[in-house]
Chains A and B, each alone.
Chain A
Amino acid sequence: MAGTWVFVEQRDGNVRKVTYEMISEAKKFGDEVCAVIFGKGIEGLAPQFAKYGADKVYVVEGDVFAQYNTGAFVAQMAAMIEEYKPNAVLFAHTFNGRDFASRLAQKLNAGLATDVIAAEISAGKGVFTRAIYAGKAFAKVEVTTQPILATVRAGVFEVKENPAAGEVIKPAVVATQANVYQNIIEFKPTVSARPELTEADVVVSGGRGCKGPEGIKLVEQLADLLGAAVGGSRAAIDSGWLGHEYQVGQTGKVVNPTLYIACGISGAIQHLAGMSSSKFITAINTDPEAPIFNVADFGVVGDLFKVIPVLCEELKK
């Protein structure tokens, strides 16, 4: 049992940043780091992983891997684990990553720590920190089976260039169409120039104080000026101003950007759970007593309809 494997999260060859975050972090464990990529027409990507520290890159090519499907991916990964016996396998805590890791873990009768924000891995031992109650508390958990399996939250580990050999290895392809049980009829990409909430460096969120679509429009203007993702509190989602995929909080997404700007959000504990790990928090709210100010590094007591337009002008200066 040797080597820390990092499963590459990609679609159509577009690799998610969290992959490099995991490779960079895995280097700290001292063990050999291997990137594992399944896909179609993806062999050319291998040097990218070497740049961040992949000693080896396991490349699995085939039509059946053209897009993520649980059956084929689990069958292939289980066979590779059997053959190469890695000490640990890390996945991104994306929709695909958690789906993949959960089904794989059960197939291997193994434990799994999901959505981890800190990892200590040594030979035969994996201890992880994960947020529970959406960040209101944390649990340190040990995965007591092998290989050690975990899914990693995006944005918590730093990406660091650390060139390594990146020796390309092509394992036997065992998964076939017969392993596929999900018929994916259609994939509709989100058409947005904005980054995704969970990966964004800056998040601008709107709440009840936005009062309606006009307020949300201001939030969006500010977001675009900062290259930010747009989010919302439950009040904004329940009022129908934003779709559920934009919700930040315990029943939505947990974000951890460098900068979080809360506009017209009072800061219910439900919401705070989803954003309080942001590096810098700023808030604009008319109520000086709003709980959001208890966590804000910089707060403006004021009307967002007046503050945001001026703020945009100031930022452009």
Chain B
Amino acid sequence: MKVLVCVKQTFDTEAKIELKDGKISDAGINLIINPYDEVAVEGAIQLKEKGIASEVVVVSAGSDKAMDAIRTALAMGADRGILIKQDTGADEYARAVAIAEVIRSEDPNLVLAGHVAADDGSSQVPTRIAEILGWPHINVITSLEIADGKVRCSSEADGGSQVTEVKLPAVISCQVSWNEPRYPSMKGIMQAKKKPVATVDAVAVENKTRIIEYFLPQAKQAGVKVEGEPEECAAKLADFIKNTAKIEVKA
């Protein structure tokens, strides 16, 4: 069974965001695999280790810099990569179309991805890909089992969790609690350099959304800070909760 994993390169989650010429500045920012996609890579590699997957292909759409994300996934244990060269201004629609095109030619049995990217927080691309391909999908999974041409997953749901089964081929997006991604070993990093990565151009399609502007939140002013006896501090905090925030205390 062939598994294809979609990864996006994002800013380190500890990065401070700044604007330059009205755009998000990437100067001095450490770039990582989107943490949700990293979990998808780990999930795919585990399927290979269990003998369920025969090949793990990593796909990323973006600039040349996205090659680093692919190399990291290869160092973790994926077999080969495909970099889809695409303008970083592509929206969710354009990205989904570009990735789906590559998926069609690769014809995998299973597509894995993170359910959201830590940068734009859109949560759209995996579901859009499934629609383009006409495949079923399950989002925000926390476990996965494959049997009899079907995939069965637990997932987070509104107000609880659920177990859903769909037929393969399918697109599955994961929550970070699915697994604990491994660190690439030195051997893995060396091997990754020799693993093949193909580069293709993205299908040219127009965006369906337009960014008007970016802006930063207003800096919050620090308020009152009290130190001293716990009794006194707690009394002042209780007063703040009841009289300033106006929160009702349950009996």
Query: Would you call A124 an interface residue if the criterion is a C-beta within 8 Å of the partner chain's C-beta atoms?
Result: no
A140 partner, pick from B92, B163, B211, B220, beta carbons under 8 A: B211
Tell whether, in the assembled complex, residue A259 and residue B247 are in contact, meaning their CB atoms are under 8 Å apart.
yes
Tell whether, in the assembled complex, residue A11 and residue B208 are in contact, meaning their CB atoms are under 8 Å apart.
no
Query: Would you call A2 an interface residue if the criterion is a C-beta within 8 Å of the partner chain's C-beta atoms?
Result: no
Contact segment of B11-19, B43-51, B70-78, B182-190: B11-19
A102 partner, pick from B119, B128, B235, beta carbons under 8 A: B128
Known contacts A226-B241, A302-B233, A127 near B212 by CB under 8 Å: yes
- Interface membership of chain A positions 99-131, coded 1 if the CB is closer than 8 angstroms to chain B and 0 otherwise: 100110111011111110000000000010011
Q: Chain A residues near B210 (CB, 8 Å)?
A: 141-142, 144
Query: Would you call B149 an interface residue if the criterion is a C-beta within 8 Å of the partner chain's C-beta atoms?
Result: no
Query: Would you call B83 an interface residue if the criterion is a C-beta within 8 Å of the partner chain's C-beta atoms?
Result: no
- Interface membership of chain A positions 70-88, coded 1 if the CB is closer than 8 angstroms to chain B and 0 otherwise: 1100000000000000000
Q: Chain B residues near A288 (CB, 8 Å)?
A: 225, 227
Known contacts A99-B139, A226-B241, A315-B241, A181 near B167 by CB under 8 Å: yes
Q: Chain B residues near A1 (CB, 8 Å)?
A: none
Please, how many angstroms separate the alpha-carbon atoms of A109 and B206 in the complex?
11
- Interface membership of chain B positions 201-241, coded 1 if the CB is closer than 8 angstroms to chain A and 0 otherwise: 00000011111111111001011111110110111111011
Please, how many angstroms separate the alpha-carbon atoms of A98 and B156 in the complex?
13
Please, how many angstroms separate the alpha-carbon atoms of A245 and B176 in the complex?
10
Q: Is the interface of A mostly helix, strand, loop or mixed?
A: mixed
Contact segment of B1-9, B53-61, B104-112, B130-138: B130-138
Tell whether, in the assembled complex, residue A295 and residue B220 are in contact, meaning their CB atoms are under 8 Å apart.
yes
User: For B36, B121, B128, B210, which residue has the most chain A Cβ atoms within 10 angstroms?
Assistant: B121
Q: Chain A residues near B211 (CB, 8 Å)?
A: 139-141
Tell whether, in the assembled complex, residue B233 and residue A280 are in contact, meaning their CB atoms are under 8 Å apart.
no
B118 partner, pick from A134, A142, A282, beta carbons under 8 A: A134
Q: Could you list 7 examples of A-B contacts with CB < 8 Å?
A: A103-B127, A103-B130, A137-B214, A145-B208, A190-B161, A251-B13, A251-B36
A residues whose Cβ falls under 8 Å from a Cβ of B: 9, 11, 16, 70-71, 94-96, 98-99, 102-103, 105-107, 109-115, 127, 130-145, 181-190, 196, 201-202, 224-227, 243-245, 250-251, 258-259, 261, 268-270, 273, 276-277, 279-282, 284, 288, 293-303, 306-308, 310-311, 313-317
Known: A133-B119, A250-B13, A298-B224. 16 other contacts (CB 8 A): A102-B92, A102-B124, A113-B209, A133-B17, A136-B217, A137-B215, A138-B216, A184-B163, A185-B163, A187-B162, A224-B250, A276-B220, A277-B217, A282-B237, A310-B234, A314-B234
